Chains A and B, each alone.
Chain A
């Protein structure tokens, strides 16, 4: 029996109802009485689990009230704990005291579903702005999403710091440069950052609600636009959650191609990030060089798959782009050039002492903090956490090819750059292996439609980190709920921690080394 399941049974006993029917085999699911939600969280904390996500669903079309869900992870194990809330009394005990990332998840649940986490220390709305009507809960079924909302008067109360010499710097939402909008508020003394408060939500497009109006098939297109830089991984995560519900057998060749797309997306983004971090450390040379390598990859993508970011090439049941032997040769020679030039650039990075001065010891996220915020992906692996879904929950071909996952413990800007450097090299190796071992056969199968009132789940390692989708079908087998958890939903908390004690001018550098998605967070 899995570690997490035994921990729940030991804490809650037979009141925890385990049910595997609706989920992939790798996943345990249990329903517990409303009052035991916090006991489950306590047991999970004791078992050293991490909180993956917490969300709610309006299950009134299924003849129930609200469902509140918490997903935990320990190594390769995932476990979902569910409680039901009656519609007229939607309260439950907050688990923020046990798991820090619940701090934002629960604010978000309250803002969008109107379920109330009792005992939560900060019930300001999240992503929902102060000028929304208080009782606008977009994820409730009764909410009419097609109508514009009126603006009401309201104010967002930022955290304040008082004291001699403490001053505030508000930045954004529209930033200098070509980046997504968000608001940062610093409290500083002299140049030192005392506190950073992020305020996000500017690019909230109503994505989760939008899913509920789409067909299962069109859902993968929307997933591919949750965060454009991660289009492959998001559409893949969506499709795999759906396939887990329909029991679709994706052909082997399609799985290999999916991994190929995923690794190409990883390399392209890492190249861009390494260049951008160096640029913010006043080393523009690296940005030009890395963007050039990135551009070469995007051009190959366009030639081979018809889209520079390989958007919309993953669909339920498989993929819609294939490669032939010419494509394979093209990619191999591209990778050869890439590997050679990349290595040369890494040597330049290593030997540049003024750069080293800026990136070392800057923006440290210590391993304890990374664990506390349940960080994922690059950010986690640069701070000592050995987590990567390609390792712990591999889909083929990863289980056969194997993945060498780099882990560093220092948690500074340099470590986050270095994880990317190592991952670029590893992804090049993986792609070569995929090309060598690519099985013949079909590239898609009929995915089918889920039965009514079932749920599906997936966790995919995108280039930023673990992406999680939870899907629920309604009474007529339509999409009742699609929960999206981009890595940014948790990792943004890491940035707030990492900048403390750093100087304000280093903030852009720290921020770039995290490079979290606003769109993926704001949904």
Chain B
């Protein structure tokens, strides 16, 4: 009973959001939905790979799944298996210890294999740079379609980056 009440009370969550934020999400969301409908038959499946991140980027990728950004409403789904993925969303720097696992994941992904590098580290290694342990940005190991800078990129920036990637092919 209490659950029902809480659900009713929360409603469809847009209420705690200031209007400008909600508008922002709607704006990018509408474009995403449209692009995903055209190019991916309404459903974009993403495999997220942490190739060495500090886990900050993962938190924001989680956030686009939360009830406020609710990326599923635009047709974005996360999958556990690279074999069903249209897109790899990769955070990094790519560590030496993850290089092989990242390559394997890439090789098991069917075309079109969109690759999005997430965060300053995914773009160029960020503060970790290149060293004995860090290979640097994702494109040092696999081809990248779109780079999303930020440390970490906010959910809105992430959604915009994914949109850019969807339109890139």
Answer yes or no: are A and B bound together in one complex. yes
Pairs of residues from A and B, 9 with the lowest C-beta to C-beta distance, nearest first: A228-B56, A176-B80, A206-B133, A291-B66, A228-B54, A225-B54, A205-B128, A228-B55, A178-B48
Contact partners of A145 in chain B: CB under 8 A: 131-133
Once A174-B105, A180-B50, A289-B6 are accepted as A-B contacts, the answer to whether A203 and B16 lie under 8 Å apart by CB is no
Contact partners of B95 in chain A: CB under 8 A: 202-205
18 contacts between A and B (CB under 8 A): A136-B132, A138-B132, A146-B131, A178-B50, A178-B65, A180-B55, A205-B93, A205-B133, A206-B131, A209-B131, A210-B131, A225-B56, A228-B54, A228-B152, A285-B6, A295-B68, A308-B60, A519-B54
Once A292-B16, A299-B21, A347-B2 are accepted as A-B contacts, the answer to whether A178 and B61 lie under 8 Å apart by CB is yes
Cβ contact within 8 Å between A129 and B132: no
B135 within 8 A of A: yes
| Cα A365 to Cα B80 with chains together (Å) | 29
Cβ contact within 8 Å between B132 and A149: yes
Cβ contact within 8 Å between A298 and B63: yes
Tell me, rounded to whole Å, the shortest Cβ–Cβ distance linking A305 to chain B: 14
Chain B residues with a Cβ closer than 8 Å to the other chain, count: 52
Since A205-B54, A209-B133, A291-B63 are in contact, a sample of 19 more A-B pairs with Cβ atoms closer than 8 Å, ordered by chain A residue number, is: A138-B133, A146-B130, A148-B130, A149-B96, A173-B98, A179-B58, A180-B50, A204-B133, A206-B128, A206-B134, A221-B127, A225-B127, A228-B53, A229-B56, A285-B3, A292-B67, A309-B152, A345-B6, A348-B2
What 0/1 readout, one digit per residue, does chain B (88-108) give for beta carbons within 8 Å of chain A? 000001011110010001000
Cβ contact within 8 Å between A181 and B133: no
Within B123-140, which residues are at the interface with A (CB < 8 Å)? 126-135
How extensive is the interface on chain A, given as a class?
Answer: 35 or more
| Cα A227 to Cα B54 with chains together (Å) | 5
Query: What residues of chain A have their CB less than 8 Å away from a CB belonging to chain B?
Result: 129, 136, 138, 143-149, 173-181, 201-207, 209-210, 221-222, 225-229, 231, 272, 285, 288-289, 291-292, 294-296, 298-299, 302, 308-309, 311, 337, 344-345, 347-348, 351-352, 517-519, 522
Query: What residues of chain B have their CB less than 8 Å away from a CB belonging to chain A?
Result: 2-3, 6-7, 10, 13, 16-17, 21, 48-63, 65-68, 78, 80-81, 93, 95-98, 101, 105, 126-135, 151-152, 154
Interface contacts (Cβ under 8 Å), in number, total: 160
Cβ contact within 8 Å between A289 and B10: yes
Contact partners of A226 in chain B: CB under 8 A: 54
Identify which of A143, A174, A210, A285 contacts B7 (C-beta below 8 A). A285
| Cα A210 to Cα B129 with chains together (Å) | 9
